[in-house]
Structure 1
Protein backbone atom coordinates (compact mmCIF):
# COMPACT_ATOMS: atom_id res chain seq x y z
CA UNK A 1 0.00 0.00 0.00
CA UNK A 2 2.87 2.42 0.74
CA UNK A 3 4.04 2.15 -2.86
CA UNK A 4 0.58 3.31 -4.02
CA UNK A 5 0.94 6.52 -1.99
CA UNK A 6 4.19 7.37 -3.75
CA UNK A 7 2.74 6.89 -7.22
CA UNK A 8 0.03 9.26 -8.33
CA UNK A 9 -1.54 9.83 -11.68
CA UNK A 10 -0.42 13.10 -13.21
CA UNK A 11 -1.81 15.05 -16.11
CA UNK A 12 -0.08 14.66 -19.41
CA UNK A 13 2.08 17.67 -20.20
CA UNK A 14 0.39 19.64 -22.96
CA UNK A 15 1.39 22.87 -24.60
CA UNK A 16 -0.44 25.64 -26.38
CA UNK A 17 1.11 28.30 -28.60
CA UNK A 18 1.55 31.59 -26.73
CA UNK A 19 3.34 33.78 -29.30
CA UNK A 20 6.12 34.11 -31.85
CA UNK A 21 8.77 36.74 -31.23
CA UNK A 22 11.53 38.33 -33.28
CA UNK A 23 14.13 40.33 -31.37
CA UNK A 24 16.38 42.68 -33.32
CA UNK A 25 19.90 42.73 -31.90
CA UNK A 26 22.50 45.42 -31.36
CA UNK A 27 26.12 44.56 -32.23
CA UNK A 28 27.36 42.14 -29.59
CA UNK A 29 29.55 43.24 -26.72
CA UNK A 30 32.27 40.72 -25.85
CA UNK A 31 33.41 40.76 -22.21
CA UNK A 32 36.14 38.21 -22.97
CA UNK A 33 37.01 34.88 -21.45
CA UNK A 34 36.37 34.78 -17.71
CA UNK A 35 36.50 31.99 -15.17
CA UNK A 36 33.21 30.44 -16.42
CA UNK A 37 33.71 31.00 -20.16
CA UNK A 38 33.31 33.86 -22.64
CA UNK A 39 30.56 36.30 -21.65
CA UNK A 40 28.83 38.16 -24.50
CA UNK A 41 25.93 40.62 -24.42
CA UNK A 42 23.48 40.44 -27.30
CA UNK A 43 21.51 43.64 -26.65
CA UNK A 44 17.88 43.90 -27.73
CA UNK A 45 17.34 46.75 -30.20
CA UNK A 46 13.59 46.18 -30.62
CA UNK A 47 11.35 43.63 -32.26
CA UNK A 48 7.82 42.27 -32.21
CA UNK A 49 5.77 39.44 -30.73
CA UNK A 50 2.41 38.11 -31.87
CA UNK A 51 0.10 35.40 -30.62
CA UNK A 52 -3.55 34.54 -30.12
CA UNK A 53 -3.86 36.27 -26.71
CA UNK A 54 -1.20 39.00 -26.82
CA UNK A 55 0.96 40.96 -29.23
CA UNK A 56 3.20 43.98 -29.20
CA UNK A 57 6.81 45.11 -29.36
CA UNK A 58 10.14 44.26 -27.75
CA UNK A 59 11.36 47.38 -25.92
CA UNK A 60 15.02 48.23 -26.69
CA UNK A 61 17.42 47.89 -23.78
CA UNK A 62 17.18 44.30 -22.60
CA UNK A 63 19.30 41.49 -23.86
CA UNK A 64 21.03 38.15 -23.47
CA UNK A 65 24.06 37.99 -21.20
CA UNK A 66 25.14 34.75 -22.86
CA UNK A 67 27.95 32.55 -21.61
CA UNK A 68 29.92 30.50 -24.12
CA UNK A 69 31.05 27.62 -21.93
CA UNK A 70 34.37 25.83 -22.49
CA UNK A 71 32.43 22.81 -23.88
CA UNK A 72 31.02 25.00 -26.69
CA UNK A 73 27.47 25.25 -25.36
CA UNK A 74 25.94 28.72 -25.03
CA UNK A 75 24.06 29.24 -21.75
CA UNK A 76 21.39 31.94 -22.12
CA UNK A 77 20.54 34.59 -19.51
CA UNK A 78 17.88 36.83 -21.06
CA UNK A 79 15.88 39.75 -19.67
CA UNK A 80 13.46 41.62 -21.94
CA UNK A 81 10.69 44.16 -21.62
CA UNK A 82 7.67 43.59 -23.83
CA UNK A 83 5.03 46.26 -24.47
CA UNK A 84 1.63 44.90 -25.49
CA UNK A 85 -0.34 46.54 -28.27
CA UNK A 86 -2.62 48.01 -25.58
CA UNK A 87 0.30 49.62 -23.72
CA UNK A 88 0.92 47.15 -20.87
CA UNK A 89 4.49 46.21 -19.84
CA UNK A 90 5.61 42.62 -19.39
CA UNK A 91 8.95 41.54 -17.92
CA UNK A 92 10.17 38.36 -19.63
CA UNK A 93 13.14 36.36 -18.38
CA UNK A 94 14.56 33.07 -19.52
CA UNK A 95 17.52 30.80 -19.40
CA UNK A 96 18.22 28.13 -21.90
CA UNK A 97 20.79 26.31 -23.94
CA UNK A 98 22.01 26.63 -27.51
CA UNK A 99 23.96 23.58 -28.62
CA UNK A 100 25.58 23.67 -32.06
CA UNK A 101 27.02 20.42 -33.44
CA UNK A 102 30.80 20.68 -34.06
CA UNK A 103 30.37 20.23 -37.82
CA UNK A 104 28.21 23.40 -37.97
CA UNK A 105 30.35 25.71 -35.82
CA UNK A 106 32.26 27.25 -38.76
CA UNK A 107 29.08 27.97 -40.73
CA UNK A 108 27.34 29.39 -37.64
CA UNK A 109 30.11 31.98 -37.25
CA UNK A 110 29.78 33.03 -40.91
CA UNK A 111 27.38 36.04 -41.03
CA UNK A 112 26.09 35.01 -44.47
CA UNK A 113 25.68 31.26 -43.90
CA UNK A 114 24.37 31.14 -40.33
CA UNK A 115 20.86 32.41 -41.11
CA UNK A 116 20.47 29.74 -43.78
CA UNK A 117 20.98 26.85 -41.35
CA UNK A 118 17.62 25.42 -40.33
CA UNK A 119 16.83 25.21 -36.61
CA UNK A 120 16.34 21.44 -36.88
CA UNK A 121 20.15 21.21 -37.14
CA UNK A 122 20.88 22.61 -33.66
CA UNK A 123 19.33 22.60 -30.18
CA UNK A 124 18.09 26.03 -29.03
CA UNK A 125 15.57 25.87 -26.16
CA UNK A 126 14.46 28.35 -23.52
CA UNK A 127 12.20 28.50 -20.43
CA UNK A 128 10.43 31.90 -20.39
CA UNK A 129 8.75 33.29 -17.27
CA UNK A 130 6.81 36.55 -17.00
CA UNK A 131 6.08 39.30 -14.46
CA UNK A 132 3.56 42.08 -14.78
CA UNK A 133 1.38 44.32 -12.64
CA UNK A 134 -1.20 44.50 -15.42
CA UNK A 135 -4.58 43.12 -14.38
CA UNK A 136 -5.35 42.16 -17.96
CA UNK A 137 -2.19 40.04 -18.28
CA UNK A 138 -1.86 38.87 -14.64
CA UNK A 139 -2.39 35.28 -15.84
CA UNK A 140 1.17 35.42 -17.26
CA UNK A 141 2.58 35.66 -13.72
CA UNK A 142 1.54 32.07 -13.01
CA UNK A 143 2.51 30.16 -16.14
CA UNK A 144 5.60 28.29 -17.31
CA UNK A 145 6.63 28.36 -20.95
CA UNK A 146 9.10 26.70 -23.25
CA UNK A 147 10.56 28.23 -26.36
CA UNK A 148 12.42 27.12 -29.44
CA UNK A 149 14.81 29.62 -30.98
CA UNK A 150 16.40 30.18 -34.34
CA UNK A 151 18.44 32.82 -36.14
CA UNK A 152 16.94 35.39 -38.48
CA UNK A 153 18.65 38.16 -40.41
CA UNK A 154 19.54 40.88 -37.88
CA UNK A 155 18.31 39.01 -34.84
CA UNK A 156 16.82 36.01 -33.18
CA UNK A 157 13.34 34.49 -33.29
CA UNK A 158 11.40 32.26 -30.92
CA UNK A 159 8.25 30.23 -30.90
CA UNK A 160 6.94 30.33 -27.30
CA UNK A 161 4.43 27.82 -25.92
CA UNK A 162 2.64 27.75 -22.59
CA UNK A 163 2.95 24.51 -20.64
CA UNK A 164 -0.57 23.51 -19.63
Structure 2
Protein backbone atom coordinates (compact mmCIF):
# COMPACT_ATOMS: atom_id res chain seq x y z
CA UNK A 1 0.00 0.00 0.00
CA UNK A 2 1.34 3.41 -0.94
CA UNK A 3 0.86 6.32 1.45
CA UNK A 4 -0.91 9.24 -0.14
CA UNK A 5 -0.23 12.81 0.95
CA UNK A 6 -2.39 15.87 0.56
CA UNK A 7 -1.61 17.49 -2.78
CA UNK A 8 -0.45 20.69 -1.09
CA UNK A 9 0.61 21.61 2.44
CA UNK A 10 -2.24 21.82 4.96
CA UNK A 11 -0.15 24.51 6.67
CA UNK A 12 3.40 25.87 6.80
CA UNK A 13 5.35 26.42 9.99
CA UNK A 14 8.07 29.06 10.21
CA UNK A 15 9.87 28.51 13.51
CA UNK A 16 12.47 30.94 14.85
CA UNK A 17 15.46 29.17 16.39
CA UNK A 18 18.08 30.02 19.00
CA UNK A 19 21.72 29.18 18.45
CA UNK A 20 22.89 25.60 18.65
CA UNK A 21 23.74 24.31 22.12
CA UNK A 22 26.48 21.79 21.34
CA UNK A 23 26.82 19.00 23.92
CA UNK A 24 29.54 17.14 22.06
CA UNK A 25 29.96 13.43 21.36
CA UNK A 26 27.76 11.11 23.40
CA UNK A 27 27.27 7.34 23.06
CA UNK A 28 24.45 8.07 20.55
CA UNK A 29 26.30 10.59 18.42
CA UNK A 30 27.13 14.28 18.46
CA UNK A 31 24.29 15.78 20.52
CA UNK A 32 22.83 19.25 19.92
CA UNK A 33 19.83 21.15 21.29
CA UNK A 34 18.19 24.05 19.47
CA UNK A 35 15.56 26.03 21.38
CA UNK A 36 12.44 27.12 19.50
CA UNK A 37 11.79 30.81 20.16
CA UNK A 38 8.43 31.24 18.41
CA UNK A 39 7.10 31.51 14.89
CA UNK A 40 4.06 31.42 12.65
CA UNK A 41 1.66 28.81 11.29
CA UNK A 42 -0.21 29.62 8.09
CA UNK A 43 -2.37 27.51 5.82
CA UNK A 44 -5.79 26.37 4.66
CA UNK A 45 -6.38 24.10 7.67
CA UNK A 46 -4.60 25.99 10.46
CA UNK A 47 -3.34 29.46 11.33
CA UNK A 48 -1.66 30.61 14.47
CA UNK A 49 1.73 30.86 16.08
CA UNK A 50 4.48 28.70 17.49
CA UNK A 51 4.84 29.39 21.20
CA UNK A 52 8.28 29.86 22.74
CA UNK A 53 9.55 27.00 24.88
CA UNK A 54 9.93 24.04 22.57
CA UNK A 55 13.18 22.56 21.34
CA UNK A 56 14.76 20.35 18.73
CA UNK A 57 16.97 17.64 20.26
CA UNK A 58 19.35 16.37 17.59
CA UNK A 59 22.24 14.06 17.28
CA UNK A 60 24.56 13.88 14.32
CA UNK A 61 25.04 10.24 13.40
CA UNK A 62 28.29 8.62 12.31
CA UNK A 63 27.10 8.86 8.68
CA UNK A 64 26.60 12.64 9.03
CA UNK A 65 22.78 12.59 9.09
CA UNK A 66 21.01 14.73 11.69
CA UNK A 67 18.45 12.70 13.66
CA UNK A 68 15.77 15.21 14.67
CA UNK A 69 13.36 15.00 17.60
CA UNK A 70 11.37 18.19 18.18
CA UNK A 71 8.52 19.04 20.55
CA UNK A 72 6.76 22.38 20.66
CA UNK A 73 3.34 24.00 20.96
CA UNK A 74 1.16 25.77 18.42
CA UNK A 75 -1.54 28.21 19.48
CA UNK A 76 -4.21 28.82 16.84
CA UNK A 77 -5.63 32.28 16.13
CA UNK A 78 -8.74 31.12 18.05
CA UNK A 79 -6.66 30.16 21.12
CA UNK A 80 -6.52 26.35 20.75
CA UNK A 81 -3.22 24.82 21.86
CA UNK A 82 -1.69 21.90 20.01
CA UNK A 83 1.33 19.86 21.08
CA UNK A 84 3.54 18.91 18.14
CA UNK A 85 5.85 15.91 18.20
CA UNK A 86 8.14 15.66 15.19
CA UNK A 87 10.86 13.12 14.36
CA UNK A 88 12.91 12.99 11.22
CA UNK A 89 16.17 13.20 9.32
CA UNK A 90 18.25 15.81 7.55
CA UNK A 91 21.15 14.72 5.35
CA UNK A 92 22.87 15.55 2.12
CA UNK A 93 26.26 16.19 0.56
CA UNK A 94 28.74 17.54 3.12
CA UNK A 95 29.42 20.74 1.17
CA UNK A 96 25.68 21.49 1.01
CA UNK A 97 25.13 20.84 4.72
CA UNK A 98 28.18 22.98 5.55
CA UNK A 99 26.52 25.87 3.67
CA UNK A 100 23.24 25.26 5.55
CA UNK A 101 25.05 25.33 8.91
CA UNK A 102 26.80 28.60 7.97
CA UNK A 103 23.33 30.13 7.56
CA UNK A 104 23.45 30.44 3.78
CA UNK A 105 20.24 30.19 1.77
CA UNK A 106 20.36 26.74 0.17
CA UNK A 107 17.84 25.25 -2.24
CA UNK A 108 16.04 22.56 -0.18
CA UNK A 109 16.08 20.27 -3.23
CA UNK A 110 19.84 19.86 -2.63
CA UNK A 111 19.38 18.03 0.68
CA UNK A 112 16.88 15.73 2.39
CA UNK A 113 14.92 17.13 5.35
CA UNK A 114 11.73 15.26 6.29
CA UNK A 115 9.87 14.71 9.55
CA UNK A 116 6.91 12.64 10.68
CA UNK A 117 4.53 14.73 12.78
CA UNK A 118 1.85 13.87 15.35
CA UNK A 119 -0.42 16.27 17.16
CA UNK A 120 -2.23 16.34 20.49
CA UNK A 121 -4.94 18.77 21.60
CA UNK A 122 -7.94 18.98 23.92
CA UNK A 123 -9.70 21.66 21.87
CA UNK A 124 -12.74 20.33 19.94
CA UNK A 125 -12.21 22.88 17.14
CA UNK A 126 -8.96 21.19 16.10
CA UNK A 127 -9.54 17.68 17.48
CA UNK A 128 -9.19 16.32 13.92
CA UNK A 129 -5.43 16.77 14.43
CA UNK A 130 -5.44 14.04 17.12
CA UNK A 131 -6.35 11.56 14.38
CA UNK A 132 -3.86 12.30 11.61
CA UNK A 133 -0.23 11.78 10.78
CA UNK A 134 1.66 14.34 8.75
CA UNK A 135 4.90 14.48 6.81
CA UNK A 136 6.83 17.74 6.71
CA UNK A 137 9.33 18.80 4.08
CA UNK A 138 11.80 21.13 5.74
CA UNK A 139 14.18 23.90 4.86
CA UNK A 140 16.81 25.16 7.32
CA UNK A 141 17.57 28.86 7.32
CA UNK A 142 20.14 30.84 9.32
CA UNK A 143 17.98 31.22 12.47
CA UNK A 144 14.76 29.50 11.43
CA UNK A 145 13.24 26.42 9.91
CA UNK A 146 10.35 26.25 7.46
CA UNK A 147 8.18 23.13 7.40
CA UNK A 148 5.59 22.49 4.69
CA UNK A 149 3.19 20.06 6.41
CA UNK A 150 1.29 17.47 4.34
CA UNK A 151 -1.43 15.25 5.75
CA UNK A 152 -1.07 11.49 5.25
CA UNK A 153 -4.43 10.50 3.75
Is the shorter-chain TM-score for this pair beyond 0.5, marking a shared fold? Answer: yes
Corresponding residue to 2:136 among 147, 150, 155: 147
SS at match of 1:136: helix
Task: Show structure 1 runs of 5+ residues with no match.
Answer: 1-9
**Does the 8 Å contact 2:33/2:58 carry over to 1?**
yes
Report the number of matched residues: 152
1:106 paired with 2:106, answer: no
Say if 1:12 and 1:42 are closer, same or farther in 2 by CA, change over 3 A. Answer: closer
1:11–1:100 CA distance, 2 compared to 1 (3 A): closer
1:6 corresponds to which residue? none
Moved beyond 4 Å, runs of 4+: none
Q: TM-score, normalised by structure 1?
A: 0.87
Equivalents in 1 of 2:99, 2:3: separation in Å? 39
Which fold has the larger relative contact order, with Cα–Cα distance below 8 Å and residues 6 or more apart in sequence? 2
Which residue matches 1:160? 149
2:37 counterpart SS class: strand
Please list every run of 5 or more consecutive structure 2 residues that lacks an aligned counterpart in the other structure: none
Residues 1:88 and 1:13: Cα distance change in structure 2 (over 3 Å): same
2:71 alignment partner in structure 1: 79
- Residue 13 in 1 paired to residue 4 in 2? yes
Across the aligned residues of Structure 1 and Structure 2, the Cα RMSD in angstroms comes to 1.5
Map 1:10-159 onto structure 2 (within 5 A): 13-16=4-7, 17-111=9-103, 114=104, 116-159=105-148
Greater gyration radius? 1
Q: Find the residue that maps to 1:137 and give its secondary structure.
A: helix
- Quote the offset at 1:100 in angstroms: 2.0
Following the alignment from structure 1 to structure 2, what is the Cα–Cα distance between the partners of residues 150 and 90? 22
Q: Residues of 2 paired with 1:150 and 1:84: CA distance?
A: 22
Q: TM-score, length-normalised on structure 2? A: 0.93
